[in-house]
Each structure stands twice: as C-alpha cells, then as structure tokens.
C-alpha cells in the first residue's frame, strides 16, 4: 500500500470561530491535528508605535482598542504605569471606582466569552442570555463615559469624573410600549450605584441559570472535558496567566499576590481547576464572575458612604476644575498648557501589570522626560496563550480546534498590536 501523506488545511482567516482574524495552518492526519501553526499579522495596527507619537494621555483611548472586551482593565495598567513614573497618589475614592469598574469589565468579558464559546461548540442559546446581562453593565460604562465600549474613563491620577446620580432612561417606541418602558426604568430611577446594587443582587441567580444550561449538559461536557489538558508545571513553563493558569490548578492572581489599588481591602477567593482541561477553565471563569460580583458589592457599599475627589489635585497631571479656571487665570493657563503639551513624565522605566480578565496585562514604558513615551511595550495575555495552540491541539480532532480557540478566550486586538 502507498504511504498516506498528511495534508495541510487553512483554518481561517475568519471571524466567527476565532474572535478576530486568526489564520491557523493545520497539518492533519485524517481528522487528527498533527501540528497547528497560528499566523498573525492580518489585523496589525501598530499600537505600540502609535503611542510613541502621541502624548501620554492621548494614548488612553488606544488601550481600549487592544482587547475590546476588557477596555477599562487595559486603561488601568497604562495609567498605573504613568502614575508610578510620576510618583503620584490616586485618591482613595478613585481607587475604589477603578476596582469596581475592573470587575464590571471582568464580568463583561466573561459573559461575552461564555456566549461566544457556547456558540462555537453548539450551545446556541447561551449568547442570547449573556447579552441580556451585558446590556445592563454596558449601560454602566455609558453612564460614566458616554461610550458603550471604548470608555477612555481612567486618567493618570484617577478617573475622568465621579459616578453619576442618575441613569439613562428608556423611552417609549414602536418596539417598547409605555408599560414595558416603565418596568425597565424602575431600577433606573436612582443613581448608578443603586442600579448596580440591583444588578449584583440578582446576578448570582442568573449565573445559576447559566450553569443549569451548561455545567452538567452532556454535550457541553463531551466537547470540553479532557480537551486541551495542560499540567500545572507546563502551564507555568508556557507563561500562562489568568484563567488559563488557574484552570491548571495554580492559584496565581495579581490582585492577591501583587495587590494594587484597594484589592487588599476586599474579600474574595481565587478559583482554581483540578484537571487543567477546557472544562476546568470554563468552571474557573464562571466562579470568577461570582467573585467579581462580591467585589462590586463591597465597592458599592464603600462608595455610598465615602465621598471625595476622584482625580489628583496636581495640576501638572490633571486639569483644574471648571469653576477654578473661571476665577483664576493661573489655573486657566495650567489647563491650556496641559491640553496642548500634555504631561511631562520624568525619565525612567516602569512595568505595571493588572489582573486582566484574560491574564496578566502589562505595560512596559520608557520615558526620556518628554511629553510622550520614548518606548512602549505591551505584555498581552492572549499573545502568550496563542503560542501554546500547537501543544493544545496536537492529537485532537479538527472540531476540538474550535473548542481550543474558545477556551483561550482570544481577542485579536491585543495579540496583533
């Protein structure tokens, strides 16, 4: 009999199963993957180089567009890097707001992940449930920043503005009757904290619904259990972080191990897996949503009773208030200088990282004392995790490649930056 040669298949470039323009070249023996070679470079937008041509503050919106499901977490790492170079303190209220929005962002990310991953492997209903809850949290983004995704809400020294006392209201339309609108607007009659408080009180039961649909679903388990097993030792060798590392049983979380902002004041647990397969990574992310819900509730309780400034009063870093500018010429000059020149950051280098929903997201910045970075390097978790695709998929079937793309939680904006 003649030798049967392996054959090569292009998996992508496509969007639906790959959460971004990923092209993988698969070498196959029948339907079994022998080798997977991820190709990137189809989305490249040169974020790191663009940042070197903009002032420090002008690059904040670029951070949103890296992982466009974890917007404020990206901003957080970048602003912390600038603050460490400037050696400035962030007001405590701003720290609580940042932590609260980081955890809102974590839930937003994991909701889209569970919906898209479900869709990838055949659980069609999940994406509809997940987007129902995302809508409430996206409204919280919009309430503070005016944008539903790319918020640009964090600033070096704090956040752009304090939390609003009112939420946007729905209006009657041909799609919604007056009675429906009244019911929707009931929880929107108070402040943003009231609206969020209502959300965190009902979200645990919603997560129970998700688990009823998926956790013991035999088809879901057939697609995920024992697929893409990574041992704890190998996960560390591959540079895994976030749910990819914790799914393999390593309780590493920057919020606990290298605490920043006010995480050391808050009570939450680090979920870990046992087997290190795709199913464990699913369970870890679901439990992370429960823990984020706990953190948000603690932040709401603190923010209700502790007013205060939300950005530094150093006017070389943050603009003065409008009232001060109208009454003080010196403050007005500060404002114009800051808007035209930007912040002059002292010479030095810094690495700042946060526990992003996908893992460790870090910013390495070098300043030469100018008003823009001399060099900016982004450490994105998705890029590291994608490098393990060959190891994850080898020996599995073609259908399992889609499961593997889902379990990594790929968003290509941060990978091909």
Tokens representing residue 272 in the block? 């870990």
Output the pLDDT for position 1: 47
pLDDT tens-digit readout, 304-362 = 999 999 999 888 888 877 777 777 777 777 777 778 888 899 999 999 999 999 999 99
Q: Which pTM value belongs to this model?
A: 0.94
154 versus 338: the higher-pLDDT residue is: 154
Alpha-carbon distance of 71 to 251, in angstroms, equals 25
Between CA 404 and CA 408, with CA 406 as vertex, the angle to 5 degrees is 70
Q: Are the C-beta atoms of 24 and 41 separated by less than 8 Å?
A: no
Output the pLDDT for position 236: 96
Domains located in the chain, CATH noted: 7-87+90-168+177-311+346-414 (1.10.645.10)
Q: At what angle do helices 278-305 and 92-121 cross, to 10 degrees?
A: 150
Average pLDDT of the residues of the chain: 91
The rounded Cα 291 to chain-centroid distance in angstroms is 15
pLDDT tens-digit readout, 27-79 = 999 999 999 999 888 778 899 999 999 999 999 999 999 988 999 999 999 99
Output the pLDDT for position 11: 87
């Amino acid at each position: 009999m003649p030798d049967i040669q392996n054959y090569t298949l292009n998996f992508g470039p496509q969007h639906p199963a790959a959460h971004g323009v990923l092209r993988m070249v698969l070498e196959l023996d029948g339907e079994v993957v022998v080798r997977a070679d991820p190709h990137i470079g189809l989305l490249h937008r040169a974020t790191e180089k663009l940042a070197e041509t903009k002032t420090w503050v002008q690059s904040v919106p670029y951070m949103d567009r890296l992982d466009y499901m974890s917007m404020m977490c990206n901003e957080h790492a970048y602003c912390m890097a600038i603050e460490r170079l400037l050696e400035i303190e962030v007001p405590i209220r701003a720290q609580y707001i940042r932590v609260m929005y980081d955890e809102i962002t974590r839930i937003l990310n994991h909701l889209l992940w569970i919906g898209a991953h479900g869709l990838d492997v055949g659980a069609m209903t999940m994406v509809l449930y997940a987007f129902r809850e995302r809508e409430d949290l996206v409204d919280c983004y919009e309430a503070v920043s005016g944008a539903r995704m790319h918020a640009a809400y964090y600033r070096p020294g704090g956040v752009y503005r304090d939390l609003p006392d009112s939420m946007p209201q729905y209006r009657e339309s041909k799609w919604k009757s007056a009675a429906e609108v009244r019911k929707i607007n009931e929880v929107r009659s108070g402040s943003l904290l009231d609206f969020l408080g209502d959300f965190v009180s009902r979200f645990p039961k919603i997560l129970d619904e998700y688990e009823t649909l998926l956790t013991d679903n035999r088809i879901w388990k057939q697609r995920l259990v024992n697929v893409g097993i990574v041992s704890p030792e190998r996960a560390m060798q591959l540079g895994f972080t976030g749910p990819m590392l914790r799914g393999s049983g390593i309780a590493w979380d920057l919020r606990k191990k290298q605490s920043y902002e006010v995480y050391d004041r808050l009570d939450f647990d680090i979920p870990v897996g046992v087997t290190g397969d795709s199913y464990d990574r699913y369970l870890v992310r679901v439990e992370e949503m429960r823990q984020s819900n706990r953190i948000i509730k603690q932040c709401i309780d603190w923010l209700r009773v502790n007013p205060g400034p939300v950005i530094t009063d150093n006017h070389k870093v943050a603009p003065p208030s409008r009232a001060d500018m109208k009454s003080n010429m010196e403050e007005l000059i500060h404002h114009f200088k800051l808007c035209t020149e930007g912040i002059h950051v002292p010479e030095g280098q810094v690495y700042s990282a946060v526990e992003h929903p996908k893992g460790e997201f870090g910013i390495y910045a070098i300043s030469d004392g100018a008003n823009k970075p001399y060099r900016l390097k982004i450490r994105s978790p998705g890029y590291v995790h994608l490098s393990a695709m060959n190891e994850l998929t080898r020996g599995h079937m073609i259908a399992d490649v889609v499961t593997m793309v889902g379990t990594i939680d790929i968003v290509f904006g941060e990978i091909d930056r």
